[in-house]
């Protein structure tokens, strides 16, 4: 891990696994560590008195967490993830021509038009956990192979390890939305 001191002595930029991570120390922060993305860089907020070895460990941990949770920001990243999921769970047989985020789907998580092999994913899915985004994307990819939600459709998804958990998550979100509207 290499370090670069910035003009402010409480801020350092380090390179972790080839990625810039900005470490910001605060005398007011006593125990907690948090992180967020800003301008394409991870910013990690640390207590000022933390030992350099602990800073390095926290920088690695927070980078790993952030990368795991990172939402595909662009349609190109979403398409790339769709190809990965198709390869892993559908034997590469689902080949969408386009996969994109949309803002006009308020009552469904995603949609697929098999005739032109296009998939649209609601932007409401973007902040959800990765396994939920993957499930929604995989569900729509599966519609390129199976039009209906028949037995063959669900059998195709059975190898996805978080199937029940993701469906339960989405059902919970729907339930919460219905309850808040009453």
In the predicted model, is pLDDT for residue 19 greater than 80? Answer: no
Q: Are residues 94 and 42 in the same domain?
A: no
Q: Which of 87, 88, 159, 169 is nearest to 127 (CA)?
A: 169
Domain carrying residue 32: 2-69
- Domain boundary pick from 31, 52, 69: 69
In the predicted model, is pLDDT for residue 88 greater than 80? Answer: yes
Q: What is the Cβ-side half-sphere exposure of residue 41, based on CA atoms within 13 angstroms?
A: 14
* 36-82 tens-digit pLDDT: 877 778 889 999 988 888 988 898 888 877 766 555 678 999 999 99
Share of the chain above pLDDT 90, in %: 53
Phi and psi (nearest 5°) for 5?
-75, 135
- Domain boundary pick from 69, 87, 117: 69
d(CA 130, CA 161): 13
Q: Are residues 88 and 125 in the same domain?
A: yes
d(CA 92, CA 125): 23
d(CA 47, CA 137): 39
Residue 24 banded pLDDT, cuts 50, 70, 90:
very high
Q: What is the mean pLDDT of the chain?
A: 88
In the predicted model, is pLDDT for residue 113 greater than 90? Answer: yes
Q: Are residues 28 and 99 in the same domain?
A: no
Query: What pLDDT is stored for residue 36 in this prediction?
Result: 85
d(CA 120, CA 134): 13
Residue 8 banded pLDDT, cuts 50, 70, 90:
low
Residue 179 banded pLDDT, cuts 50, 70, 90:
confident
Q: Are residues 83 and 159 in the same domain?
A: yes
* Per-position DSSP letters for 61-85, written without gaps between them: HHHHHHHHHPPP-SHHHHHHHHHHH
37 Cβ partners below 8 Å, 6+ apart? 43, 66, 70
Q: Are residues 50 and 88 in the same domain?
A: no
Looking at the 3D structure of the chain, how many domains does it have? 2
Q: Are residues 61 and 117 in the same domain?
A: no
Looking at per-residue pLDDT, the higher value among 150 and 2 belongs to 150
């Amino acid at each position: 891990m290499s370090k670069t001191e910035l003009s402010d002595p409480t801020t350092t930029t380090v390179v972790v696994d080839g990625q810039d991570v900005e470490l910001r120390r605060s005398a007011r922060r006593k125990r907690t560590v948090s992180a967020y993305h800003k301008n394409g860089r991870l910013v990690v907020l640390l207590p000022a008195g933390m030992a350099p070895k602990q800073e390095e460990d926290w920088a690695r941990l927070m980078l790993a967490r952030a990368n795991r949770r990172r939402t595909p920001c662009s349609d190109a990243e979403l398409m790339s993830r769709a190809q990965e999921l198709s390869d892993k769970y559908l034997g590469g047989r689902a080949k969408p021509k386009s996969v994109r985020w949309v803002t006009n789907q308020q009552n469904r998580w995603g949609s697929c038009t098999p005739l032109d092999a296009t998939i649209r994913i609601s932007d409401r899915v973007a902040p959800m956990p990765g396994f939920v985004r993957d499930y929604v994307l995989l569900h729509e990819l599966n519609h390129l192979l199976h039009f209906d939600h028949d037995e063959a459709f669900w059998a195709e998804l059975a190898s996805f390890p978080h199937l029940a958990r993701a469906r339960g998550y989405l059902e919970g979100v729907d339930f919460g939305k219905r309850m808040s509207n009453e």
